[in-house]
Amino acid sequence: MNGVFDLAGTDGIGPVVVPEEEPVFRADWERTVFPMFAMCFRAGFFGVDQFRHGIELIDPAVYLKSPYYEHWVHTVEHFGEQLGKLDIAELDRRTEHYLAHPDAPLPEHDDDPELLAFVEAVVPAGAPAKRESDKVARFQVGDVVRVIRSSPKGHTRRARYVRGAIGEVVLHHGPMIYADSAGNGLGENPEHVYTVRFRAEELWGAEYAEPNQVVNFDVWDPYLEPVTVTVTTEGARA
Amino acid sequence: MSATTRTQAEIAARVKALESMLIEQGVMTTQAIDRMVELYENEVGPRLGAQVVVKAWTDPEFKARLVADATDACKELGIGGLQGEDMVVLENTDSVHNVIVCTLCSCYPWPVLGLPPNWYKDPQYRAAITREPRKVLREAFGFTVPDEVEVRVWDTSSEMRYWVLPQRPAGTDGWTEEQLLELVTRDAMIGVGPVGAVA
């Protein structure tokens, strides 16, 4: 989908502000939200691509103004409601309760050794996205390619600033879970992933590009179409 | 668009309410929450990436393996995992400077750098670094990359995770690993800053 989360090249939103020092988590509620991703993933709420799409569906004004980890709350709620795992009316009621009584206790509960073991295991092991596939890669390193002009309505990683742009394949990573499929709940359907290198002039125009700059962007095979390159007598690409 | 944003107190109440429901469902426990937080506050962080960099600076064979396959090379040091299942290290040279971003969300190589700083996730960095990297580096980070050095921005749009292998500074021959470790900052491995100054 085309949305404000697709930020590359957006002007007029202010300078990058870099504090001298900051803690890993700035508030106690961030400490609770961060583990929700892994634990709700384990409980079948979403895969990582769907998790991202839930964030893309946030009200755009809220997306731009809210603290980062609040985005994670929205996506957990989105999938919890969609899957019938969360009653939002009940969540609203409890929110009022804790707003009025911030120190009210959480429900009594026992430790869960299996959940703890999951945390200890998943952090060092991860959840790899590379997959076996008999699909043949349509492109190889050195190929000149164009990102197709297509604006899918659901989840995609086709950022607007590379659509229609011509670049060169510089890395081939092999088949990986296809974000445009998995992120829309349609299964993994692995596709080959490549890194494509674009010159800044190609993305922003010669008059606006900074000198001597490229952007490398990862794409899945269906994002690309081949470009026929004509070499002129001067050796420049036409 | 409703355009309403919550106060910190409102977010905290919402999160506690959500936590209470997820606890009742057995999705979360406070014990497991505390452990996951402890891991990323104290155990997984940029110190690990710095160890890899120093190893690469001091062991040319390791460096060759790291540049060829960062995931495997980091595994030799017991480093890897969530959000770094497939990593590529980007070697800075006299003619190339690399910098990472995720313009669509906030992808970042957790096993070597820990969780990203807030500015990395903020809209402003994600908007500007692909378009005006030299200006962002100069104005936000006080870091100038000479025009003759190519700036390569890596927009982390797939599950590949990139991070930067800075150059070992001159004047560090004979330094101990501990001394070298102090030079390798998180920002140098993102590509927004130089390694520490050689006194």
Please report the pLDDT score of residue B4 as a whole number. 76
Give the chain A residue nearest B114 (alpha carbons). A24
Q: Is pLDDT larger for residue A2 or for residue B4?
A: A2
Whether residues B31 and B91 fall in one domain? no
pLDDT at position A238 is 45
Whether B105 and B164 map to the same domain: the answer is: yes
B-chain residues near A62 (CB < 8 A): 1-5
Say yes or no for a CB contact (<8 Å) between A27 and B8. Answer: yes
Please judge whether A55 and B131 are an interchain contact, meaning their C-beta atoms are less than 8 angstroms apart.
Answer: no
Quick check: is B196 in a domain? no
Residue ranges making up the domain that contains B18: 8-42
> Is there a single domain that holds both residue B14 and residue B86?
no
Cα separation values, B49 from A57, A231, B55, B89, B111, Å: 34, 43, 10, 11, 8
Taking CB atoms and an 8 Å limit, are B140 and A60 in contact across chains?
no
CB atoms B5 and A112 under 8 Å: no
Q: Is residue B1 part of a domain?
A: no
Residues 43-82 of chain A with CB under 8 A from chain B are 43, 48, 52, 55, 59-62, 64-68, 70, 73, 76-77
> What is the CATH class of A28-125?
mainly alpha
Interface residue A201 vs chain B (CB under 8 A): no
Summarize pLDDT for A31-66 with one digit per residue, the tens.
Answer: 999 999 999 999 999 999 999 999 999 999 999 999
Instruction: Give domain status of residue B2, yes or no.
Output: no
Considering the domain architecture, whether residues B13 and B99 belong to the same structural domain is answered as no
Q: What percent of chain A has pLDDT over 70?
A: 96
Is the pLDDT at A118 greater than 70? The verdict is yes
Chain B contact for A166 (CB, 8 A cutoff): no
Domain residue ranges of chain A, discontinuous segments joined by +:
28-125, 143-226
What phi and psi, each to the nearest 5 degrees, are found at residue A221?
A: -45, -45
- Give residue-wise pLDDT tens across range A199-237: 999 999 999 999 999 999 999 999 999 998 766 666 555
Residues B55 and B109 in one domain: yes
Q: Is there a single domain that holds both residue B112 and residue B173?
A: yes
B90-136 per-position pLDDT tens digit: 999 999 999 999 999 999 999 999 999 999 999 999 999 999 999 99
Q: Classify domain A143-226 by CATH architecture.
A: Roll (2.30)
Contacts of A84 in chain B (CB under 8 A): none
Q: Are residues B145 and B75 in the same domain?
A: yes
C-alpha A223/C-alpha A231 separation (Å) is: 25
Backbone φ and ψ for A118, nearest 5 degrees, come out as: -60, -45
Within 8 A of B17 by CB-CB distance, chain A residues are: 91-92, 94-95, 97-98
Residue A168's pLDDT band, with cuts at 50, 70 and 90, is very high
Shared-domain flag, residues B180 and B151:
yes
**CA distance, residue B91 to nearest chain A CA (Å):** 14
> How many domains does chain B divide into?
2
- Residue A43's CB: how many other CB atoms inside 10 A? 18
**Are B100 and B179 in a shared domain?**
yes
B34 plus B49 within the same structural domain: no
Mutation target among B23, B27, B34 for the A interface, most CBs of A within 10 A: B27
ipTM of the complex: 0.96
**Contact: B124, A16; criterion CB under 8 Å:** yes
DSSP secondary structure letter of residue B39? I
CATH number at residue B133: 3.90.330.10
pLDDT value for B99: 98
A128 lies within 8 A of chain B by CB: yes
Residue B74 is among the residues annotated as catalytic for this protein: no
CB within 8 Å: B103 and A24: no
pTM of the model: 0.96
Based on the fold, state whether residues B25 and B88 are members of the same structural domain.
Answer: no
Task: Give chain B's residues under pLDDT 50.
Answer: 1
- Alpha-carbon span B69 to A172, nearest angstrom: 13
Residue B198 included in any domain? no
Q: CB-based contact (8 Å) between A129 and chain B?
A: yes
B61 plus B158 within the same structural domain: yes
The whole-number average pLDDT for the span A126-155 is: 97
pLDDT in tens, A64-80: 999 999 999 999 999 99
